Amino acid sequence: MTELFPERIETERLVLERMCRENVTPHELYDLFSGPGVSEVFEHVPQSPYRTVNEPRELITNADERWSDGTSAAYAIRPDDGEPHADELAGTTFLFPEWERRTARFGLLLGKRFWGRGYSGERAAALLKVTFDRLDLELATVGHNVGNENSRRAIEKYVEAHGGRHDCLLRNWVPMDDEIADMHRYTITREQYREATNA
């Protein structure tokens, strides 16, 4: 099933490449998502900064396995030529097909120095195209924890641009260490996407 997902996606300013040993190293992920300066990146996500270089190695191995069995597509995000920090690892993004629901969920973890550039919306547009045009799914969904204002602004902007909407607040939805966070859920249907993009 490896042909389900595109190995490489190019947008106007980004390159998304399949997360595997050939395209990203554990040290790149570790350097981006470890150390004292990354706590803000992980404040609203159900993950902690890496403590050892073995943790991102396991992530890459798991991503490769899930890609092969069709349960998720994980991509390394890099700014393209002409962008600041071109070719550096900027973050990771995930597309989780829920085949029985004809739905795809998106995830994103972006290094702080890459915030505020519109990369979230640009990679979301690319994943929406994969969701509806390549995987022939009917719904895309994304969410953010209550209090995550940066993600809220980015998500609202690209969801609206693609015809979608805020669906609901899911109470006690995301396990976060010692507490369970509430999450805002947004959706874009295939019909909304096609009408908004004239696809």
What does the pLDDT look like over 117-136, one tens digit per residue? 999 999 999 999 999 999 99
Mapped onto helix, strand or coil, the DSSP state of residue 105 is: strand
The confidence score (pLDDT) of residue 199 equals 73
Average pLDDT, the chain: 96
163-185 average pLDDT score: 96
Residue 163 lies inside a defined structural domain of this protein: yes
User: For the chain, what percent of residues have pLDDT higher than 70?
Assistant: 99
What tens digit of pLDDT does each residue of 104-115 get? 999 999 999 999
| CATH number of residue 169's parent domain | 3.40.630.30
Domain extent at residue 153: 7-197
The confidence score (pLDDT) of residue 65 equals 96
Question: What are the backbone angles phi and psi of residue 102, rounded to the nearest 5°?
Answer: 55, 40
- How many structural domains is the chain composed of? 1
pTM of the model: 0.95
The helix or strand, by DSSP H or E, that contains position 10, with its residue range, turns out to be strand 8-10
Terminal CA-CA length for the chain: 26
Residue 121 lies inside a defined structural domain of this protein: yes
The confidence score (pLDDT) of residue 1 equals 42
Residue 23 lies inside a defined structural domain of this protein: yes
Cβ contact 112:162 at 8 Å:
no
Whether 155 has a pLDDT exceeding 90, the answer reads yes
The confidence score (pLDDT) of residue 113 equals 94
Scanning 115-164, the segments in alpha helix (DSSP H) are: 119-129, 149-161
Structure tokens at 131: 């969701």
Whether 2 has a pLDDT exceeding 70, the answer reads no
Q: How far apart are CA 31 and CA 63, in angstroms?
A: 19
How many whole angstroms from its chain centre is CA 194? 21
The confidence score (pLDDT) of residue 19 equals 98
The confidence score (pLDDT) of residue 3 equals 83
Residue 115 lies inside a defined structural domain of this protein: yes
174-191 average pLDDT score: 96
Banded pLDDT at 177 (limits 50, 70, 90): confident
88-103 average pLDDT score: 98
22 or 2, which is more confident: 22
Residue 2 lies inside a defined structural domain of this protein: no
12-37 average pLDDT score: 96
Residue 142 lies inside a defined structural domain of this protein: yes
Structure tokens at 31: 């350097």
